[in-house]
Amino acid sequence: MGKARDRLESIKAAQSKQARGRRGRTQRMEDYLEVIYELIEHKGYVSMSDISNYLNVSSASVTKMVQRLHESGYIEYEKYRGIRMKDKGLEIAKMIRERHSILTEFLLLLGIEEEDAHRITEGIEHYFDNRSLRRLEQLIQIIKSDESILRKISAL
């Protein structure tokens, strides 16, 4: 449960520092799906005010996006009954979590502080395609498998 809370806090911190309107709709939808997924993992449920809090957006913005996600088939939403992730949304949220984990692991290997690593990851995670991410994952495995590389990185 602690890791989900840490990821939620990193999402919140990244959102409060980013200029509004800089990111496209698809990335914004991913942010919402990520927060909804993490909140469900952390609390067992998600409220509109939780989403608003972690993404640092107004309740009206949350309502609009939740409706858009519902219409797009990512979530099930009924007013006063809550939000439930559909398979399509769950798949994307899990992919985002994996992307976040890989990027954060890489930054941690470089000696970046954990809080900074999560904040940086929130800023860049939407820009990595699957191919680039897999290559980065392979690089991480190479680094971790070679003690001499790890020592060299630690000495930086």
Kindly report, residue by residue over 104-136, the tens digit of the pLDDT: 999 999 999 999 999 999 989 988 888 999 999
Q: Do domains 2-91 and 94-154 have the same CATH topology?
A: no
pLDDT tier at 16 (50, 70, 90 boundaries)?
low
Sign of CA dihedral 61, 63, 64, 70: positive
pLDDT tier at 140 (50, 70, 90 boundaries)?
very high
pLDDT above 70 as % of the chain:
92
CA distance 28 to 18: 12
Are 57 and 15 within 8 A, CB to CB?
A: yes
Q: What is the mean pLDDT of residues 33-39?
A: 96
pLDDT at 17: 47
Model confidence at 21: pLDDT above 90: no
pTM: 0.77
CATH code given to domain 94-154: 1.10.60.10
Average confidence score pLDDT of the chain: 89
Quick one: which of 63, 49, 12 has its CA closest to 34?
Answer: 12
Q: Which residues contact 15 (CB under 8 A, 6 or more apart)?
A: 31, 54, 55, 56, 57, 122
Where are the domains positioned within the chain?
Answer: 2-91, 94-154
Quick one: which of 63, 67, 72, 60 has its CA closest to 26?
Answer: 72
pLDDT at 22: 35
Can you list the alpha helix ranges (DSSP code H) found in 18-73? 25-43, 48-55, 59-71
Tokens 């858009």 sit on residue: 68
Model confidence at 33: pLDDT above 70: yes
Q: What is the DSSP letter of 19?
A: P
The values of phi and psi at residue 114, to 5°, are -60, -45
Can you list the alpha helix ranges (DSSP code H) found in the chain? 2-17, 25-43, 48-55, 59-71, 87-109, 114-124, 130-145, 147-154
Model confidence at 23: pLDDT above 50: no
Are 13 and 121 within 8 A, CB to CB?
A: no
What is 2-91's CATH topology? Arc Repressor Mutant, subunit A (1.10.10)
Structure tokens at 31: 């942010």
Model confidence at 62: pLDDT above 80: yes
* Residue of 79 and 149 predicted with greater confidence: 149
